[in-house]
Amino acid sequence: MNVLWNWMLPVGAGLAIVVILGAMWRQLRRRAGHRDDVRVANTSRLSALPRYRSLARTHRRSLASMTGAALALVVASVVLAARPVRSETVEPSIANRDIMLCLDVSGSMAEYNRSVLEQFSQLLDRFDGERVGLTIFNSSAVTVFPLTTDYRFVLAEFDRFRLTFAERGIDTLDGTLEGDGSSLVPDGIASCALAFPEDAGDRSRSIVVATDNEIEGSTLLAIEEVSTIVTDRSIHVHAIFPLFDYEDPDRKEAAEIRQLTQRSAGSFNRLEDTTGTASIVADIERTQAAALDAEARLVEVAQPHWWIAVAAVALIVLLVVARRARL
């Protein structure tokens, strides 16, 4: 057993020694005071009585039990104050997935993006080691934050963008209107693909893109070229598309995105399907081939359990014996 605060042990031992010496000094003073006591004859006959001897033995046992219980209580209290811990070396394994959330922030997607971020925020609790990034695009693309495992920061950024989309503001969308046109989806997805590091190692890579694919203007890349980029880089594209029941599921905008996801071994999901985001995460989780071993680290785990039990039992014994002895 190790303790975090080693200095508490000598301090506790010192206090115990002071208490013992004080008790011994008091006992010596008491004996010295007995020299002036009045002596009574024939008390040996009283002390020889069986009842007297029985009571004396009981008293001595009570004092011994109380002394032992008090000593155990003091020792347990000192050890607990020193914070006992158990040290062990752990080699944690983390997920080897990179996920880039790619949002079309054109005016027609503002309300939809808020829903996507709300659903994605709820699923971050399931992540353990996945790196998450965010890229937004309209006529140009901006990487809001690169791949990271700082989920608290990610949630804060999601909240900030949800507020922007709810108010239909533009305070977080700087840099997305530097080109000609609007909602240039092929260029935006290509920018998301290029946001991954070139050397992926053993990590799987996925893009979750939310778009209605309503392109206005000329794009630098065609959707077929983007498809080649993501397949060459082994990137899975999962789309969240605002397709309503009354709309043609095979219309051009939806068909292009569906073909892109199929070629990249991704998935096509309707925005109004509330299980769509969870389904995407389940698909992404299946892309992991093996977990990565993180750097081994020393972990100290608190181990107060036995000492708490010792202190509790000692206190109970002390109180019960004192009550019976009428002390």
pLDDT at 222: 92
Q: Give me the amino acid identity at 295.
A: E
Burial of 314 (0-12, 13-18, 19+ CB in 10 A): buried
The three-class DSSP label of residue 115 is helix
pLDDT at 78: 77
Residue 144 has pLDDT above 60, yes or no: yes
Mean pLDDT, residues 247-251: 72
Rg (CA), the chain: 37
What is the C-alpha to C-alpha distance for residues 193 and 236, in angstroms, rounded to an integer?
A: 10
Residue 208 has pLDDT above 80, yes or no: yes
| Tens digits of residue pLDDT in 147-172 | 998 999 999 999 988 888 877 767 67
What is the C-alpha to C-alpha distance for residues 93 and 216, in angstroms, rounded to an integer?
A: 45
Residue closest to 110 by CA, chosen among 175, 181, 171: 171
E strand map for the chain: 2-3, 84-90, 93-94, 97-104, 131-137, 141-148, 204-210, 235-241, 267-270, 292-293, 297-302
Q: Give me the amino acid identity at 21.
A: L
Which structural domains are found in the chain, ordered by start? 2-29+52-87+300-324 (no CATH), 93-293 (3.40.50.410)
According to the 3-state scheme, what is the secondary structure of 252-290?
A: HHHHHHHHHHHHCCCEEEECCCCCHHHHHHHHHHCCCCC
| Tens digits of residue pLDDT in 106-139 | 888 877 888 888 888 877 877 777 889 999 999 9
| Tens digits of residue pLDDT in 74-98 | 877 777 777 777 776 665 556 678 8
Copy the structure tokens of residue 220: 């630098």
Residue 145 has pLDDT above 80, yes or no: yes
The Cα-based distances of 30 to 25, 27, 67, 72, 299 in angstroms read 9, 5, 19, 26, 53
CA angle 318, 320, 325 (to 5 degrees): 95
Task: State which H helix or E strand residue 33 sits in.
Answer: helix 8-33
What is the C-alpha to C-alpha distance for residues 136 and 115, in angstroms, rounded to an integer?
A: 15
For the entire predicted model, the pTM comes to: 0.60
What is the C-alpha to C-alpha distance for residues 283 and 198, in angstroms, rounded to an integer?
A: 23
What is the C-alpha to C-alpha distance for residues 203 and 196, in angstroms, rounded to an integer?
A: 11
Residue 280 has pLDDT above 60, yes or no: yes
**Mean pLDDT computed over every residue of the chain:** 79
Distance between start and end Cα atoms, the chain: 37
